[in-house]
Structure 1
Amino acid sequence: MLGQVLVLSAEDVRNAVPMSTAIDAVRDSFRELAAGNFVLPPRQIFGDGAVLVMSAYHSPTGTAVVKKIGIALDQVPAIRATVIWTGAGEQLVADGGSITTLRTGAVVGVATDLLARADAIRLTVIGTGAQAPDQVRAVLAVRPITDVTITGRSLDRATALARALAAEFPEVRFTPTTDVEASIATTNIICCATSSSTPLFEADALPVEVHINAIGAFRPTMRELPRALFTTSTVVVDQREAALEESGEVIDAVESGTLDSLIELGPALSDPPAPTARTVFKSVGIGCQDWAIAAALAGIRC
């Protein structure tokens, strides 16, 4: 690739980086982040979150990634993005939408592997948008899931997604529904992937023991999780600074005095938190995740 620009489509990204590879790459990137080997400038936000620009520089390899994202929640796809990865004499331009969903799924795989019970077999995904399939793929890559419930506002969309995933994972039973409370009542793992501005469920509706991933709310005005959940849960975030600036549920919980302790994912990989019945992973997405997938495309390891 020296001296030339490699341009990759969404299909190219998918073919080159399967979910298991993405999870390993993202896990390594968070270890590198904890070691101080990334420079992560604050995310630039334009037009009330309609346009985002993220970047990351990996000091040991001298490589960097920049991603421009356009978000229109009333359109399909909601996310349109381009990723540029560059090194010494090397440059890669790739479809950013596929990288975004892949790296978001991958970080959920990393967190689920760290926090969810090892024998978890039931998964509930709330949301039927572009992020949902990679949430399923990631959790199935790290836990022996046998039953997945796809929960959405539209039963038709939930059914269509369940059928598509059932074709990909024929050994798993997929059930579509619009009933959030019923879908979470006996589950082991929940993935929230919506653009909701209000909590998707009440804390009392959850099982006593459950792991929850929340990746949909990326603005201070958005919330997927109820405030009461934070009083009894171990809470892990991708990056403390980013969560306190962008996660509506984390900001609300901290300001209300409900939450006083945030654990960052990178350090937790080396020093796991003491197990509790309920665990939460909240991600708003940071640049080292995009770098991890782009570096995997370029054949670079941490």
Structure 2
Amino acid sequence: MKIISAEQINNALNYPDLIDHLDQGFSRPFNMPKRQVFNINPGTENKDAFAVLPAWNEDYLAVKAFTYFPSNYRHNKSALHSNILLFNRSHGEPLALLEGASLTHWRTAAVSALASRYLSNPDASRLLLLGTGNLAPHLIAAHLSVRPIDSVIIWGRNTDKAQALATGLSEKFRRVNFSVHLDVKPAAQDSDIIVAATASPAPVLYGNWVAPGTHVDLLGNHNADQRECDSELIGKAQVFVDSKVNVLNEAGELLIPIHEGVFSEQAILAELSQLCNKSIAGRQSLSPITLFKSVGTAISDLLAAQYVFEKLS
């Protein structure tokens, strides 16, 4: 059984190929039971968690296990640790154990860009990124690979961190103009694509800020009682998700408007797999606001692990 490190994963992957691989993989049959997330301190305010995410397709079985210990941040330690175990589909032989955090960054950004391939306007050139965490450079690189983006605005609560990110990315992507804005509203009003990857428990994006034709991607929140946007944006947008079963269990962006009576489960137009297999169309005209809510899927973990394993075999 191969042990595949974060360094090997980072060296094996690039976004154009990974996005194409995910596009093909989501279009084919797969099975993905509801993921299990366990609070390991039930009855307390401690949010430490352990999760198990299984999936399988025609070629492989996979399971990702991860731990989330948010108090680690106070001690300058990573809060998230994960590994992905890949098995042969035909006879169950374990094939590889892959470092999960780096692979999760890659697949999360690739899924975000894949959704944009179907939901943003083809000539989208202005991207607003909300958030400056570890995912931020991955998200920008992924989105630059699917749309002709020449202007990126970065917003974060820590302006120095946002400026450092913009400076570093400017050196890597010299054709793109990077800037930092302190106010989300005017930046949102002038953007073609808005990607939110924050840890904010309350909205950082509002419906009356978002212009017709904009594509919005929300991926930072995984809590049923929190959200990155307000109900107005959900109500006025065409809404798509990575997985209904997971989003409707975890994402306050949709659950809160459903509870308020201003949105319904039936108003979700499609899952990502339906866009990829072309059974449901994505964007069909220039004017709608499209919105993609993702909380992560086990099948995207499997597909990314498959890509790395086969490339290194």
Relative to the length of structure 2, the TM-score reads 0.88
1:24 and 1:43, CA in 2 relative to 1: closer, same or farther beyond 3 A?
A: farther
Name the aligned partner's letter for residue 83 of structure 2: T
**2:253 counterpart of 1:249:** yes
Q: 1:129-144 to 2 correspondence within 5 Å?
A: 129-144=133-148
> Once structures 1 and 2 are overlaid, which stretch shifts more, 251-260 or 49-58?
49-58
For the aligned residues, what is the CA RMSD? 1.9
Name the aligned partner's letter for residue 7 of structure 2: E
**2:185 counterpart of 1:189:** no
Q: 1:118-157 to 2 correspondence within 5 Å?
A: 118-157=122-161
Task: Determine which of 262, 277, 281 is the counterpart of 1:272.
Answer: 281
1:73 and 1:286, CA in 2 relative to 1: closer, same or farther beyond 3 A?
A: farther
SS of aligned partner of 2:202:
coil
> Once structures 1 and 2 are overlaid, which stretch shifts more, 274-283 or 235-244?
274-283
**1:175-230 CA distances to partner (integer Å, 9 max, x unpaired)?**
02222112212010000001111110221122232100000001112210110011
1:78 and 1:68, CA in 2 relative to 1: closer, same or farther beyond 3 A?
A: closer
1:235 and 1:49, CA in 2 relative to 1: closer, same or farther beyond 3 A?
A: farther
Q: Is the 8 A contact 1:65 1:294 kept in 2?
A: no
**2:229 counterpart of 1:225:** yes
Q: Is the 8 A contact 1:190 1:211 kept in 2?
A: yes
**2:108 counterpart of 1:112:** no
SS of aligned partner of 1:299:
helix
Per the TM alignment, residue 63 of structure 1 is displaced from its structure 2 partner at its CA by 2.5
**1:68-118 CA distances to partner (integer Å, 9 max, x unpaired)?**
232427625443222222224342122211111111101101100000000
Q: 1:1-302 to 2 correspondence within 5 Å?
A: 5-32=1-28, 35=29, 37-47=30-40, 50-72=48-70, 75=73, 77-87=78-88, 88-260=92-264, 261-262=267-268, 263-269=270-276, 270=278, 271-273=280-282, 274-275=284-285, 276-299=287-310
1: CA distance, partners of 2:94 / 2:173: 37
Q: Is the 8 A contact 2:47 2:70 kept in 1?
A: no
Identity level (%):
27
SS of aligned partner of 1:142:
coil
SS of aligned partner of 2:145:
helix
User: How many pairs are equivalent?
Assistant: 293
SS of aligned partner of 2:127:
strand
Q: Is the 8 A contact 1:195 1:222 kept in 2?
A: no
1: CA distance, partners of 2:185 / 2:147: 23
1: CA distance, partners of 2:35 / 2:205: 31
SS of aligned partner of 1:98:
helix
SS of aligned partner of 1:80:
strand
1: CA distance, partners of 2:271 / 2:50: 23
Could you tell me which runs of 5 or more consecutive residues in structure 2 were left unpaired when the two chains were aligned: 41-45
Q: Is the 8 A contact 1:190 1:212 kept in 2?
A: yes
2: CA distance, partners of 1:168 / 1:222: 34
1: CA distance, partners of 2:293 / 2:57: 26
